[in-house]
Structure formats: C-alpha cells, structure tokens
Amino acid sequence: MKRIHVNEEYCIGCRLCEIHCLVQHSQSRKIIKAFKEEAPRAMARLVVEEEGPLSFAMQCRHCEEAACLEACMTGAMHRDEETGAVLCDEEKCVGCWMCIMVCPYGAIQRSLIGRSAASKCDLCYGNETPVCVANCPNEALIFVDETPSDNGAQ
Amino acid sequence: MGISLKTSEFRIERNEDRCIACQVCVRQCANDIHAYDAEDDWVYSDETNCVACHRCVTLCPTHALTIRRTPLDFRENANWTAQRITSIYKQAETGGILLTGMGNDRPHTIYFDHMLLNASQVTNPSIDPLREPMELRTYIGRKPDRVQVSRDDNGQIRLETKISPQLTLETPIMFSAMSYGSISYNACLSLARAAKKSGIMYNTGEGGLHSSLYEYGPWTIAQVASGRFGVHPEYLQAAAALEIKIGQGAKPGIGGHLPGEKVSAEVSRTRMIPEGTDALSPAPHHDIYSIEDLRQLIFALKEASNYEKPVGVKIAAVHNVAPIASGIARAGADYIAIDGLRGGTGAAPTIIRNNVGIPIEMAISAVDTRLRQEGIRNQVSLIAAGSIRNSADVVKIIALGADAAYIGTGALVALGCHLCQKCYTGKCNWGIATQDPYLTKRLNPNIGSRRLSNLIRAWSLEIKEMLGGMGINAIDSLRGNRDHLRGVGLNQVELDTLGIKGAGQS
C-alpha cells in the first residue's frame, strides 16, 4: 500500500503538515475559519517531534500487524479493505484508549472535540495525496508504494 | 554606549484578519523577527533585523505577510542618499569595514540591457529548433592551430594532431565557483547533481571537495586559490579540470574571506583548517608575482594531473584585462574565466564590491578582440562570469566572444536565494549560504538539483530558439559573431569597445 514516509534529514520543523492536517479534519476545511472561528478547534492527526536541529512528522504508520487493531475491543479500529489504511470508526469507539496504550509510535491521540474517540491519521481518506505530504515545502514527507518492513514502520 | 542610529530597512505588514498564529514565520526566521505571545495567542514582529529574504512570506499558509521598504524618508538629497548616510552610521558605530554578500547592486550601466539580438527575415531563413538539429555542445580547452589528418589503408580518415584535453559541455553554461563553506553541503550537492544531469560542470570554489562529492568528479572543476584550502592530490585527481583562482569579480585585488562562524567540523575537514577559524585567502598567490610564475603553477598542476585535464585561470575583470588575458594564454592556460564587475560573492567589503572592476561585457569583448589580434584566440577558451541573468545574456556574451558562461547568482536564485545580501552572516534562511544545521536542511538537494537542471534545460531551449531565429544552427557559429548584436543608448566609445554597431546601422 501507499504509505507516508518521512525523511527527517529534510524536515525543517515548520509544522505546516500539522496545520494543514488540522484544516483537513476541521468542519469547514478552510484554513482561516478552522483556526479563527471553529470552536473547539480541530486537531491535527500528526505531531512534529523535535530535538535540536532534528525534527520529523510522526503519524500513524498503518502497520501491517497493527497492535491497535488487536487491542480494540469494539472493532472501531479497522483496516480499510481498499487502501489498507488503519482507520478508527469514531461511532464505534468507546474511548477505552487501549489503542493509545499499545501504539509503539504514539501516533494515536485522544480526541478533545466532539465525542471522546481515538484520533489518528486517516491518510486523508478520499484524497489522492494526504494534505501533509501535499503541503510539505521541502518534500520531507512523501507518499509512495514501498514494501513495508516487518512491523510496517519506515 | 549611546543610542544606535540604525533604523529598520523593512517593514513587515501582518494581515491580522488572516494570521492564524500558526507560528510558521516564528520557526522559519533565523533573524528572530517574529515572536509568539502565548498569553494572547498572538504573533507579532520586530523588523529591526529583517533582511527581506521572504522566507516567512513564502511559507505563510494564509499569505498574511508582506514586506515593504520602510517608508522612513530622509530629506531628499541626490548626493547623500539614505544608503550613504546609514553606511556612515554603521561605520561610526563599529569602526569596521562594511561587509556584504552577492554581486554589485549599484546602478552601473548594464550593457546586456543595451544590446539587442538579430533575427533572420526573408534573405536568410530562420531555423526551427523543434524540427531541425541545433548544436549547443561546447568544448572548453586549447584548440590546435591546425588539424592534420591522414588516411589509412582502408581510406578511413585518422586525426594526426594531438588535441589538448577538453571539457565537454552539453550547453555553454556552467555553475561558477562557490565553495563548500560559503554555501552549504546541500547546495554543493544540488549543483553537482544538476551538473551531472545537465552534462555541464560545477566548480568547487576555493573550499576543497567534500569526500562524498568525489563521485561527481567528471562534472567538477576544482579550484586552486591563494589559500590552497583543501588542495591535495586526491582533490586534483577527482576533478575533470583545474582552475587557478587569481581574482573574483566582486572583490578584485583582495582574497577570499570565510567567517569562522561558517567553518563547521565538516568544512574544517574539507578545507584542512581548524574549526571555527576565519578562512582568509591571501590577496595574491604568494608564489605568483608574474606571468612566468603563473606558468609555473599552471604546469605544476598539469604535471600533477598527468597532462590529462584542462587547467584554467580565473581573473577578475580589471582595467588591463586584455593584456593580462594575453599573458595568461601565453602562460599555457587552457581556458580563462573572467569575472565581471557584477559577479557575486559570499562575503566582500561593500566598498570594493561596488567600486572595483569593469563590466563583463566590456572585458570579454576587449579580451576576445586582443586575442584575435594576436592570433592566439584558439589557444584558450573564454568563460564569462559576473551576473549572467538569463539565456539572452548567455547569447550576447557568446556573441561578444565568450565560449561559455558561468552562472553563480542565477543558480542560487534557482535554489531559492532572494538576494538579501547577507551571505556573510551565515544566517541564510533558505539553507544556501549557511552551515547552521537548523538552516542547511531547508535545502533538499533532490529539489535543488531538479530546479537547477530545469533552469539549464529552460535556458538551453531558449538559446536554441534565439540561435534559430538568427539562422544559426550551432553555438560555434555565434561565438564572437558581433554582427548579431546592435547597441541602443550607448555612446561611440562604448560601441567601439564592445565592437558592435548601433541599432539601425547595417
């Protein structure tokens, strides 16, 4: 499947990926409205980790053997058959946070808005290219087909 | 200590209706112009040190930022301009030489803009480069006075004359000398990869060659400058050609200056100098005080490279450039690179950059004329440098007599340079003229090399169109063909020096 790969060598820590992710998951999908008018503000589904000059965007790796899928007791966490992406059905999620506990990448967050549900990267479901990749100014994020390693992480 | 009389040069206009306080500008500015007030969730700017590099403007996701020249005016005075007054303020405060980066920004006459190209009409057909072959391949190196051929028993023609080593360029453009140190590793890598892809050369400058760039050796010209930074046998062996740097257009008569801030561990290893120390190249080569001395170094380098590589000499365009070039040709150089008044730099005294040298158009014209008069034009190739800004400049300088053009500033602009002229501070927000690890990663060499090779491709296509329009199907037929140039708005002395007619004269 196509996955988001991060090349930390060229991540400039601008956090435009976070900003555009937030907009993508807002109600209006309009950047100024999403930030200035929508309350509570939508959440970015990824986080830029930084230490010194090193930085990289961390989002769900959509693992082949996903621990969150195993841990989910309601079946909210599921794999999309078409794209292979690991998605969370927020209607089914009861907020037990086992997925957050087991995710080795810390890529799942508690949603602080609306229903209390697990919030994670959905590869911008329906978009050809996820917005974080499309808006990365330095091509540090790329969306490509590649044979995943053992745990699916790159 | 007293109050500083310096005022900000630029004003940042933030459209508060658009600003979403995302802090991209805060994170991107190495000059700490923007700041975030968490209490009020508000981003504000103090533009005192703004250099108008547009990094924040370009990355702002809501296009909330604009930068303008500060509207603070002095009383109008044609003699004491704001720039001259503020220069004195700075010097009165620091007592130092004012430094700058990039090329001359003074309004000296740009002769390129006073020359127009010819095109075919009726009496000679123009050529369509999309339908007919158009040759841009250029060979840099000494050409023989005459060529002897013989036929073998089968009637096949054989070349008897031994041809001197030549550089092959797919298009008459090269990336000019920019050292690792003055520019970042990623910038060097972008240049090297683009040179390889475009079939041209890039130049190491006087900064040595990072060991990981040796694989791009066949597309590398290695410079030997007065400081001899990073010069060792492997360096000379790795490159395709060697270049003795005597002078630079931005600072004729003085040596290079790389501030210690930019001498990182890797730069120090590559240059073979201690980390954090200023890399100061002497003004002259201390073993070159005459043409005879230069000849010794040229042949020392030829000897060291087994006479397999062209050895060139780079000089700044100065008043007596023509006789100097003649001497260099006779000293055995395979090519002469001439860097004009508007040539760029990573660091130079502003007063030198703005006032020393002559324009490249005049210099190439004078040198080509002189070498032809002396009958030695074939002995050297001429490479023109010093603010070649577009493909028309390339065509014009070749018509004036150059074999190829070096582009430095143009290449950096392709990489994102906004000519803020602060290269010497090491705080380049575009990741080009810096060694700061926070900044260098902003230049992704995959993007950089793509943009550079796009530029070379675009210019080459345009050159073909212009040649075709003139009815010429090979760049060789344009070289020194000044009949294809006409001057506008130039006086007779200028026309004569350029060796061209005025517009309307036939």
* B442 close contact with A: CB closer than 8 A: yes
Q: Is residue B185 within 8 Å of residue B204, measured between CB atoms?
A: no
At A31, list the tokens. 């950047």
List of chain A residues whose C-beta atoms are within 8 Å of the C-beta of residue B20: 19, 31-32, 35-36
Instruction: Judge if B10-96 and B171-478 fold alike in CATH terms.
Output: no
CA–CA distance, B356 with B340 (Å, rounded to integer)? 10
Count A/B contacts: CB-CB distance under 8 Å.
51
Place of tokens 């201690």: B274
- What b/e sequence results for A2-22 when a residue is b if at least 16 CB atoms lie within 10 Å of its CB, and e otherwise? bbbebbeebbbbbbbbbbbbb
Total domains present in chain A: 1
* Distance separating alpha carbons of residues B338 and B336, to the nearest angstrom: 6
Contact B11, B67 (CB under 8 A): yes
Q: Helix (H, G, I), strand (E, B), or coil: what is residue A143?
A: strand
pLDDT of the residue at A74: 94
Residue B498: both structure tokens together? 């350029």
In a domain, A153, yes or no: no
- Are A16 and B23 in contact (CB < 8 Å)? no
Nearest to A16 among B18, B59, B442 (CB): B59
CATH of the domain at A49: 3.30.70.20
**DSSP structural state of residue A80:** -
Question: A55 is in which domain, residue-wise?
Answer: 2-141
- Domain B10-96 in this protein, CATH class: alpha beta
pLDDT tier, A126 (very low <50, low <70, confident <90, very high otherwise): confident
Query: Helix, strand or coil for residue A99?
Result: helix
| Interface predicted TM-score of the whole assembly (ipTM), two decimals | 0.90
How far apart CA A120 and CA A68 sit, in angstroms, is 11
CB contact under 8 Å between B447 and A139, yes or no, is yes
Q: What is the pLDDT at residue B228?
A: 93
* Confidence grade of residue B431 (pLDDT, cut at 50, 70, 90): very high
Q: What angle do CA B365, B368, B371 make, to 5 degrees?
A: 145
User: pTM of the predicted model, to two decimals?
Assistant: 0.95
Distance CA B435, CA B42 (A): 31
Is residue A114 domain-resident? yes
Interior/surface letters A40-75, b for 16+ CB within 10 angstroms, e for the rest:
eebbbbbbbeeeeeebbbebbbbbeebbbeebbeee
Residue B257: pLDDT band with limits 50, 70, 90: confident
At A7, the pLDDT band (50, 70, 90 cuts) reads very high
Which residue from B minimizes the CA distance to A50?
B438
Contacts of A14 in chain B (CB under 8 A): 24, 27-28, 59
B244: helix, strand or coil = strand
Structure tokens at A74: 């309601």
* Domain-located, residue A147: no
| Cβ neighbour number for residue B282 with a 10 Å cutoff | 13
A38 to chain B: which residues are within 8 Å by CB? none
pLDDT band at B36 (very low <50, low <70, confident <90, very high): very high
B79-101 per-position pLDDT tens digit: 999 999 999 999 999 999 999 99
Residue B216 pLDDT exceeds 60: yes
Please list every residue in chain A whose beta carbon sits closer than 8 Å to the beta carbon of residue B438: 13, 53
Of A108-117, B163-172, B198-207, the poorest mean pLDDT is in: A108-117
Residue A154 has pLDDT above 60, yes or no: no
Chain A residues in contact with B446 (beta carbon < 8 A): 10, 139
Nearest CB to A16; choose among B24, B444, B446: B24
Structure tokens at B152: 């073998």
Decide: helix, strand or coil at residue B359.
coil
Q: Average of pLDDT values for A18-28?
A: 96
* B182: amino acid identity, one letter: S
Q: Using CA coordinates, name the residue in chain B closest to A9.
A: B441
Within 109-138 of B, beta carbons closer than 8 Å to A belong to none
pLDDT averaged over every residue in chain B: 96
Q: Does A142 touch chain B (CB under 8 A)?
A: no
Q: Do B222 and B236 contact (CB within 8 A), yes or no?
A: yes
Residues 6+ apart with CB under 8 A from B174: B195, B200, B201, B202, B203, B221, B383, B404, B405, B406, B407
Angle, helices B360-373 vs B391-399, to 10°: value is 30
The span from the first CA to the last CA of chain A, in angstroms, equals 13
pLDDT tier for residue A150 given thresholds of 50, 70 and 90: very low
Fold for B171-478, please state it: TIM Barrel (3.20.20)
Triad B441, B447, B451: Cα angle to 5° = 130
* A153 pLDDT higher than 70: no
Q: Are B358 and B321 in contact (CB under 8 A)?
A: yes
- Percentage of chain B with pLDDT > 90? 96
Q: How far away is chain A from the Cα of B401, in angstroms, using its nearest Cα?
A: 40
Rounded distance, CA B1 to CA A139, Å? 47
When computed from its CA atoms, the radius of gyration of chain A, rounded to whole angstroms, is 15
Tell me whether residues B61 and A36 touch, CB distance under 8 A.
Answer: no
Evaluate whether residue A106 is within a structural domain. yes
Residue B412 contacts residue B388 (beta carbons within 8 Å)? no
Q: Which residues contact B47 (CB under 8 A, 6 or more apart)?
A: B8, B10, B11, B12, B33, B70
User: Does the structure show a pLDDT above 50 at A148?
Assistant: no
Q: Closest CB to B20: pick one of A15, A32, A137.
A: A32
Has residue B322 got a pLDDT over 90? yes
Is A148 part of a structural domain of the chain? no
**pLDDT band at residue B261 under the 50/70/90 scheme:** confident
Which tens digit of pLDDT belongs to each residue from A61-73?
Answer: 999 999 999 999 9
Q: Across the interface, do B27 and A31 touch by the CB < 8 Å criterion?
A: no
Length of chain B: 506
CB-CB neighbours of B91 under 10 Å: 12
Mean pLDDT of B52-63: 97
% of chain B residues with pLDDT over 70: 100
Q: Where are the beta strands (DSSP E) in chain A?
A: 2-6, 47-51, 54-58, 77-79, 86-88, 109-110, 118-119, 141-145
pLDDT score for A152 = 39
- Mark yes or no for CB contact B441/A53 under 8 Å: yes
Task: Establish if A138 touches chain B: CB-CB under 8 angstroms.
Answer: yes
**Mean pLDDT across A120-131:** 92
The Cβ-side half-sphere exposure at B473, using a 13 Å CA radius, reads 11
pLDDT of residue B2: 87
- CA proximity to B490, closest of B59, B116, B85, B72: B116
Mean pLDDT confidence for B228-246 = 96
pLDDT digits (tens, 9 = 90+) for B390-427: 999 999 999 999 999 999 999 999 999 999 999 999 99
Q: What is the 3-state secondary structure (H, E, C) of B203-216?
A: ECCCCCCCHHHHHH
pLDDT tens for A42-97 read 999 999 999 999 999 999 999 999 999 999 999 999 999 988 999 999 889 999 99
Is the pLDDT reported for residue B56 higher than 80? yes
pLDDT of residue B340 exceeding 80: yes
Residue B148 in tokens: 């002897």
Ordered DSSP codes for B29-92: -TT--EEEETTTTEEEE-GGG-----HHHHH-TT--EEEEE---PPPP-SSS-HHHHHHHHHHH
How much of chain B is helix, strand and coil, in % rounded to 5? 35, 15, 50
For helices B291-304 and B321-330, give the axis angle rounded to 10 degrees.
Answer: 40
Predicted local distance difference test score (pLDDT) of residue A116:
75
Specify the amino acid at residue B45: S
> Confidence band (pLDDT; 50, 70, 90) for A147?
low
| Nearest-neighbour CA in chain A from B20: distance (Å) | 6
> Of B277-286, B456-465, B492-501, which range is least confident?
B277-286
Model confidence pLDDT, tens digit, residues B140-183: 999 999 999 999 889 899 999 999 999 999 999 999 999 999 99
Supply B372's token pair. Answer: 């032809």
DSSP letters, B222-241, are EEE-TT-TT--HHHHHHSSE
What's the Cα-to-Cα distance from B401 to each of A35, B49, B369, B475, B478, rounded to whole Å? Answer: 59, 43, 8, 11, 9
Lowest mean pLDDT: which of A3-7, A148-152, B80-84?
Answer: A148-152
Kindly state whether residue A151 falls inside one of the protein's structural domains.
Answer: no
A 29-88 residues with CB below 8 A of B? 31-32, 35-36, 52-53
